[in-house]
Structure 1
Amino acid sequence: MIPWTDRPTHLHWLEAHARGLLEFGRGTVPDESGGRWLADDGSVDASQPVFTWLTGRSAHVFALGALLGVPGTRPPAQRAITALRTRLHDDDHGGWYASVGPDGTPDTTKSAYAHAFVVLAASTGTVAALDGAPELLADALAVLSERFWEPDAGMHADEWDGAWTRKDPYRGVNANMHSVEALLAATDATGDPRWAHRAATIAGRVVRWARDGDWRIPEHFDAAWAPQPELNRDRPDDQFKPYGATPGHGLEWSRLLLQVDATLAGAAPDATAGTTAGGGTGTDAAPGDPDLVAAAAALYDRAVRDGWAADGEPGFVYTTDWDGTPVVRTRMHWVTAEAIGAAAALHQATGDHGYAEDYERWWDYAAEHLLDHVNGSWHHELDPSNSPTATVWAGKPDLYHAFQAALLPALPLSPGLAVAVRDGLRAVRR
C-alpha cells in the first residue's frame, strides 16, 4: 500500500491542517509585548505571563507561515521578533528574561531553554527576512555560547540568575535538546557549520547516556553532570523537570538525531573544534555517522514500547520509571506530535515500511482524541481515559509541536524547516 506521505491527498490534508492551526493562533501575538498563552478557544489567557520561550515559538511558527505564503502570518512573526529585541530583552545585563508578568514585572532568571527558542526564532526569522532577525540571531548565539556552553562537558548549563552572577547547579537535557534544534536552524540561517557541529557534540553525549540506560534518557544532572535519576520523585508531573524517563523526549531526540546526521553529511568540517565537534570532549558523532541512525531507531523503539498504550488505553503516557513502568499516565499532545515527526523521519531515513504504518497510527490517534474539532488546534492534555484535562497544561498555550507535525512529514531531514519551506523542497524517500 502507498504510504500516506507519498499520497498527494494526505500532503494536501497536512497543508490544510497547518493553515487551520495558524488561523486558530492568529491572536497569539496581538502586539509587540510578546507571545500570549492561548485558552481552549484560542483567546488570550491574560492571567499568564508573557514567556520568552513561548514568544520564540510563536515567532518561529508564524515566520514559517510567512515562508509558506499564508497571508496574515508575517505581522505576528515580526511583532514577536520585535518583542524579543525589546520588552523581553534584559538591556542592563544582556540575555533574555524568562518572562514578563501580567503586571509588567520581569522574571529576570536566565534560562538556556528560553535562550534556545530565541535562537530558533531568530534563525527562522532570518530565513524569512524579518526586520532585526539577523541582529537578534547574532546576539542570541553569542549569549548561548558565552554564558551557557560548557565545553568540557559538551553541553549547556541550564540557568543563571538575572545578573549572571550565580549559575544554578542543576543541569538538564531538555534545554540541550531544544538547543540542538536551534543550532541546526542557526547553521541553515548563517551558513556557519560550527553550530551544527556543536549540535552533534550534544547529540553524541546524549546518545551515550541513553545507550547506557537501555535507551531511556536520563533528564536531570548535578553541576558535574552526574545523573540525578530520583529528582522530582515527589512531583513527577512537573512541566519541565518531571521525574523518570520521558518517552516523548525519546521520540523527539530520535528525529533530531536524524536531522543532525543529515545536516553533517553535507556540512563542512568544523575547523575550530579540534578533535571533537563544537569544541567539546563528549561526542562520538561524526559527519554521516550511521550510528546516529541506529541510535534514532533504538530511542524510538524504546519510547514506543514504554510509552504507547502502556496502561491498556491508546496514547502515550507522559513518564515512566527507569524500568518502563508508567508513572504519570496523562497524555500530552506534544508527545504524539513528536511521534508523528519521528516516524516520518525514520521512514524517510531507512525506508522501513513499519515506520510508515506507525505514522498513520499516530495520526489516527491524534485525529480521534487530540484534535479539537469544535474549537480548533489540539487538546494539550488528556487524562488516562483520553478525555481533555488540565492538570499540567491549562488551555492551548501554543502551536509549535502540532504545527511542526504538520510540516515535517513532507520535508527533507536537511536543510531544516525554514530553508526547506522557503526553497520549496520535498522529502525524498527510499
Structure 2
Amino acid sequence: MNGFKEELTHNILPFWIDRMRDDRNGGFYGQIDGWGLLHPEADKGAVLNARILWTFSAAFRLLKDTVYLEAAQRAFDYITSFFIDKEYGGAYWKLDCKGNPVNMKKQTYAQGFMLYGFSEFYRATGNPQALELSKEFFQLIERCRDDRSGGYWEAYTRDWQPIEDMRLSEKDANEKKTMNTHLHILEPYTNLLRIWKDERLLTAQRRLMEIFTAKISDRETYHLNLFFDEGWNVRSTAISYGHDIEASWLLFEAAEVLGDKRLLDKIRRLSLEIAEAASEGLQADGSMMYEKDDGRIDRERLWWVQAEAVVGYMYAYENSGDIRYKEKASGVWKYIRDCIVDKENGEWYWSRLSDGSINRKDDKAGFWKCPYHNGRMCMKMMERFQLNG
C-alpha cells in the first residue's frame, strides 16, 4: 500500500484550505454540496469545526508545514470566539454563517470533538489556552455522566437542563445513551491522556473501557449495540459495520495509552473479535457496506466507513500477524482510490450508492462531511505504519 502522503497533502488538505476558507465571516464555510457548489450562507456546525481543528493540528504536528498550522490556528480562533458559550460553558451545536448561535443545545458528542480538537492543538503547538480548554471540556463532559448506571447522557439544553430530543441527527433513535457518543468520548480522552495524566481522567477512561466491554459490545456476535435506555437496555437491532471497525482500533489505542498490560491484552483480543465481526460487511469489490437492520441490508459505501476500515484492519494485522487483515486493508484502500476519491475536483465523494453510482445528494464538505476520517486514515498509515509513499 502506498500513496497516503500524496492523498493527504495533494488532495484532502488543499481542498479544505483552498475551497472552505471563509474570508468574509471568518473560520470555514459550512457547506459545499455534492455537485461541488459552495453555499456561503450555510450554517456552521460544531462537529465540522472541531474536526477541522483536529485534522490540521495533527497534520502540522506530523508534517511541520506552517500552512497547516495557519489552518489549525484559524479553526481554533473561530471556535473560541464563536462556538464556546461564555455564559453556560460548552460549545453550541450550530451557528449561522455570521457566527450567531442558531441551535444552542449541548450535545455531549460535540463537546467530545471539541476536546479532541483542543487536545491535538496543544500537542501540535503547546498553546496553554488549548490545554486549559481541554481540561475544562473534560470536566464538563464528566458532569454529563450518569452516576447511577454509568455512561454519559446524550444531550442537554443550553443551560445543561434535560432535553426532549437527544438525537444527533434525524436518522438516529432518540435514546438517552448511544454507542456513538461513548466512542467519541473515549477517543478524545485517549488524546487528552497523552498530554495530561490526571487521576480523574484515568479513572474515567477505565470506566469507559468497562462500559464498552460489558454493555456496548455484544458478547455473542461482537458487533456493537448502538442505542440504549438509561439502564443500558438495548434499544436497537442495527449493525453498523463502520462503527464496528472504527471502534476496534480506537478501543485498542485507548488501552495502549492507558498503559495497563492486563487490560491491553484483554482489549487486543476483543479488538480482533470486533474487526472480524465487521468483516461481515466487506463486499467482493473490497469495500465495506454501511449497515444491516432487521434483515434490511444497506450496501451504500460511505467515505468514512472505508477510511476507518483501512485503519482498523491494519491494527488487526499488527495485533494478530494475520496477513488476511493486511489484504483487507489493501482491498479497501484500492476501492477508495478507484471509487471514492474525486480525482477531478478534490476530496472524496460522500459515498457510492448500492448500484455503484456516485452519491451527489450528500455533501462534499459540510455539517457531517469533514477531513477527519480520511485525513486521520492517511496520517495513521504514515505515522504508525510507516506507509508514506
2:104 is matched with which residue: 99, 108, 126? 108
Q: Residue 278 of structure 2: SS of its match in structure 1? A: helix
* Aligned counterpart, 2:171: none
2:266 is matched with which residue: 284, 291, 297? 291
Paired letter, 1:71: T
Is residue 52 of structure 1 aligned with residue 46 of structure 2?
A: yes
Deviation of 1:319 (Å): 1.3
2:22 is matched with which residue: 21, 24, 30? 30
Please report the RMSD computed on the Cα atoms of aligned residues, expressed in angstroms: 2.4
Deviation of 1:87 (Å): 0.6
Paired letter, 2:377: A
Deviation of 1:47 (Å): 4.4
Higher relative contact order, chain-length normalized (CA < 8 Å, sep 6+)? 2
- Superposed CA offset, 1:110-166 (max 9, x none): 0011101100000001111264312221221121112x1224433221100111121
**Residue segments in structure 1 that go unaligned for 5+ positions in a row:** 5-9, 231-243, 267-285, 414-425
2:344 is matched with which residue: 359, 374, 390? 374
- Superposed CA offset, 1:178-199 (max 9, x none): 1111000001122336435533
* Aligned counterpart, 2:154: 158
Greater mean alpha carbon deviation, residues 251-260 or residues 98-107: 98-107
Q: Contact conserved, 2:31 with 2:42, CA < 8 A, in 1?
A: no
Q: Distance in 2 between matches of 1:200 and 1:30?
A: 40
Deviation of 1:33 (Å): 4.5
Q: Residue 327 of structure 1: SS of its match in structure 2? A: strand
TM-score normalised by structure 1 residue count: 0.79
Is residue 316 of structure 1 aligned with residue 280 of structure 2?
A: no
- Superposed CA offset, 1:235-285 (max 9, x none): xxxxxxxxx11100000010112212221226xxxxxxxxxxxxxxxxxxx
Is residue 69 of structure 1 aligned with residue 59 of structure 2?
A: no
* Aligned counterpart, 2:123: 127
Deviation of 1:44 (Å): 4.3
Q: Contact conserved, 2:30 with 2:97, CA < 8 A, in 1?
A: no
Paired letter, 2:82: R
Q: Distance in 2 between matches of 1:134 and 1:71?
A: 21
**Residue segments in structure 2 that go unaligned for 5+ positions in a row:** 167-174
Q: Distance in 2 between matches of 1:329 and 1:73?
A: 35
* Aligned counterpart, 1:423: none
Q: Contact conserved, 2:92 with 2:101, CA < 8 A, in 1?
A: no
Going from structure 1 to structure 2, the CA distance change for 1:382 and 1:154 (only over 3 Å counts) comes to same
Aligned residue pair count: 366
Deviation of 1:29 (Å): 4.3
Paired letter, 2:29: R
1:351 is matched with which residue: 309, 317, 321? 321
Going from structure 1 to structure 2, the CA distance change for 1:34 and 1:356 (only over 3 Å counts) comes to same
Q: Contact conserved, 1:36 with 1:50, CA < 8 A, in 2?
A: yes
Q: Residue 228 of structure 1: SS of its match in structure 2? A: coil
Deviation of 1:101 (Å): 2.4
* Aligned counterpart, 2:134: 137
- Superposed CA offset, 1:291-344 (max 9, x none): 211111111111111x112xx66532211025xx44322211100100001011
Greater mean alpha carbon deviation, residues 313-322 or residues 125-134: 313-322
1:215 is matched with which residue: 217, 222, 239? 222
1:91 is matched with which residue: 72, 86, 94? 86
Paired letter, 1:23: P
Paired letter, 2:60: A
Going from structure 1 to structure 2, the CA distance change for 1:70 and 1:30 (only over 3 Å counts) comes to farther
Q: Distance in 1 between matches of 2:7 and 2:269?
A: 31
Q: Distance in 1 between matches of 2:192 and 2:82?
A: 23
Q: Contact conserved, 2:105 with 2:155, CA < 8 A, in 1?
A: yes
Return structure 1 stretches of 4+ with deviation > 6 angstroms. Answer: none
Aligned identity (percent) is 18
Paired letter, 1:18: L
Is residue 181 of structure 1 aligned with residue 165 of structure 2?
A: no
Q: Residue 253 of structure 1: SS of its match in structure 2? A: helix
Is residue 398 of structure 1 aligned with residue 388 of structure 2?
A: no
Going from structure 1 to structure 2, the CA distance change for 1:112 and 1:61 (only over 3 Å counts) comes to same
Going from structure 1 to structure 2, the CA distance change for 1:33 and 1:138 (only over 3 Å counts) comes to farther
Going from structure 1 to structure 2, the CA distance change for 1:200 and 1:357 (only over 3 Å counts) comes to farther
Q: Contact conserved, 1:251 with 1:299, CA < 8 A, in 2?
A: yes
Q: Contact conserved, 1:149 with 1:157, CA < 8 A, in 2?
A: yes
Going from structure 1 to structure 2, the CA distance change for 1:288 and 1:160 (only over 3 Å counts) comes to same
- Superposed CA offset, 1:29-80 (max 9, x none): 4357444334257774334311111111000111122221123111221121
Greater mean alpha carbon deviation, residues 178-187 or residues 136-145: 136-145
Q: Contact conserved, 1:300 with 1:342, CA < 8 A, in 2?
A: yes
Paired letter, 1:245: I
Q: Residue 125 of structure 2: SS of its match in structure 1? A: coil
Deviation of 1:92 (Å): 1.9
Q: Distance in 2 between matches of 1:359 and 1:16?
A: 18
Q: Distance in 1 between matches of 2:262 and 2:39?
A: 45
Paired letter, 1:94: G
Paired letter, 1:112: T
2:4 is matched with which residue: 11, 14, 28? 14
Q: Distance in 1 between matches of 2:126 and 2:296?
A: 44
TM-score normalised by structure 2 residue count: 0.86
Q: Residue 297 of structure 2: SS of its match in structure 1? A: strand
Paired letter, 1:135: E
Q: Distance in 1 between matches of 2:160 and 2:52?
A: 27
Q: Residue 218 of structure 2: SS of its match in structure 1? A: helix
* Aligned counterpart, 1:248: 242
Deviation of 1:89 (Å): 1.0
Going from structure 1 to structure 2, the CA distance change for 1:320 and 1:160 (only over 3 Å counts) comes to same
Deviation of 1:216 (Å): 1.9
Greater mean alpha carbon deviation, residues 179-188 or residues 15-24: 15-24
- Superposed CA offset, 1:339-385 (max 9, x none): 00101112222222221111111111111111111111111121012
